[in-house]
Amino acid sequence: MQSMLAPDDSFGKYKLRQEIGQGGTGVVYLADDTESDTPVALKVLAPGLTASAEYREQLATEARLCASIDSPYVVRILDAGDIDGSAYVAMEYVAGEDLRTGVTDWDFQRKIELITQIGRGLHTAHQKGLVHRDLKPENIKLTEEDIPKILDFGLAREVDTEKVDEYGNLEGTLYYLSPEQLSGQPIAPASDIFSFGVICYELFTGCRPFEGEYSASVIYSILHEDPPQPSTINPDLPPWVDAFVMKLLAKQPSDRFQSVREAVTFLQANKDTVAKPGEKWVKERQTATVVDLKNLSGDPNWEYFCEGFTEDVIRELSRRTNLVVTGQPATSYQRNIKET
């Protein structure tokens, strides 16, 4: 979209410095909040989005929810509203690079920590009932201390597969969209889990899992084809990475990790199992699935105990055996999301 504002323009209480980015949802400016004298990232949304009263209501609701997220890994929402018919969201300004350019030379353990931090931020938002819908490297910025911060929660809408540009971009980036988004199904946290898996695949291999010469072939690949296992591209990866990433990228939501928290638990349980420099992994490890401890007491206060017990079993089995251990597809984390 074309910028409607210029440097030094005023927009409500905000004084614009410069445009710093734009995409399908709007234009982002570096601006100063003249009341608090602090820099902010000010996103002025595309007029086509805010023409819908339903979307404006959704935006206001999700902006309030986003403002309540308390995570060091999610950009804080400072303000949202409408000025002269232009909807905007003011966010914490993060000056660093995005995930696309900022981590190319990071080693394995550093990437594990990065993925863990992104996962924790994503899970915190999911607990608030928020789904990102547009998770991709460009929507994750790195601070000067290399801490990841997720941008743009609640700003994406449903995907229209007719709106594909010459670069294969939809509302969100095509390569990171879940099968549910592409097939017009209801969107839940599982959709973000798939997109999270695409990011993890790319971090571990340097390649995207789903490619194609044309947008239609990329869509077909996401819907119907399994990507090569990460270790076939990067043989130095331990085999648990294959199990981790491929579970995130399962076509059916019920076959994925059922929360990002479950995925992070698996990651932390296995992170110290790495190949020695120059060593190639050739033997596959067996897998085991831990069945949830069910709360039969009828007392909801026991739910967190049951969740924690399952996590402990996964962690201890992973630590004490050579198994790749995961939770069962239908887990108690679904209940946790519904209750928030």
Alpha helices in 68-188 (DSSP H): 99-102, 108-127, 179-182
Q: Note the pLDDT of residue 152.
A: 84
Residue 225 DSSP symbol = -
Question: Can you tell me the mean pLDDT for 273-299?
Answer: 62
Which among 74, 133, 138, 132 has a CA at the least distance from the CA of 100? 138
pLDDT at 137 over 90: yes
**Cα gap 208→210, rounded to integer Å:** 6
Question: Can you tell me the mean pLDDT for 268-277?
Answer: 74
Express each pLDDT in 183-204 by its tens digit.
999 999 999 999 999 999 999 9
Q: Tell me which residues are annotated as active site.
A: 134
Q: Quickly state the pLDDT bin for 236 (edges 50, 70, 90).
A: very high
pLDDT at 243 over 60: yes
Quote the percentage of the chain above a pLDDT of 70.
78
**Cα gap 227→237, rounded to integer Å:** 16
Residues of the chain with CATH 3.30.200.20: 10-92
Least confident among 38-52, 163-177, 205-219, 259-273: 163-177
> Contact 290/313 with Cβ under 8 angstroms?
yes
**Cα gap 176→137, rounded to integer Å:** 9
Task: Indicate the Cα dihedral angle 46, 50, 52, 56, nearest 10°.
Answer: 140
**Cα gap 136→146, rounded to integer Å:** 17
Q: Note the pLDDT of residue 42.
A: 94
Question: What is the topology classification, in CATH, of domain 10-92?
Answer: Phosphorylase Kinase; domain 1 (3.30.200)
pLDDT at 265 over 90: yes
Which CATH number does 106-282 carry?
1.10.510.10
Least confident among 1-10, 54-63, 275-284, 306-315: 275-284
Residues of the chain with CATH 1.10.510.10: 106-282
Contacts of 129 (CB under 8 A, 6+ apart): 65, 337, 340
Q: What is the mean pLDDT of the chain?
A: 82
pTM: 0.76
Range among 37-51, 180-194, 315-329 with highest mean pLDDT value: 180-194
Question: Can you tell me the mean pLDDT for 61-69?
Answer: 82
Evaluate the CA torsion angle 198, 71, 337, 289 in order and state its sign.
positive
pLDDT at 132 over 70: yes
> Contact 254/330 with Cβ under 8 angstroms?
yes
Express each pLDDT in 104-120 by its tens digit.
889 999 999 999 999 99
Question: Can you tell me the mean pLDDT for 241-262?
Answer: 96
Question: Can you tell me the mean pLDDT for 149-172?
Answer: 57
Task: Indicate the Cα dihedral angle 100, 104, 110, 111, nearest 10°.
Answer: 50
Q: Quickly state the pLDDT bin for 296 (edges 50, 70, 90).
A: confident
> Contact 24/46 with Cβ under 8 angstroms?
yes
Q: Quickly state the pLDDT bin for 168 (edges 50, 70, 90).
A: very low
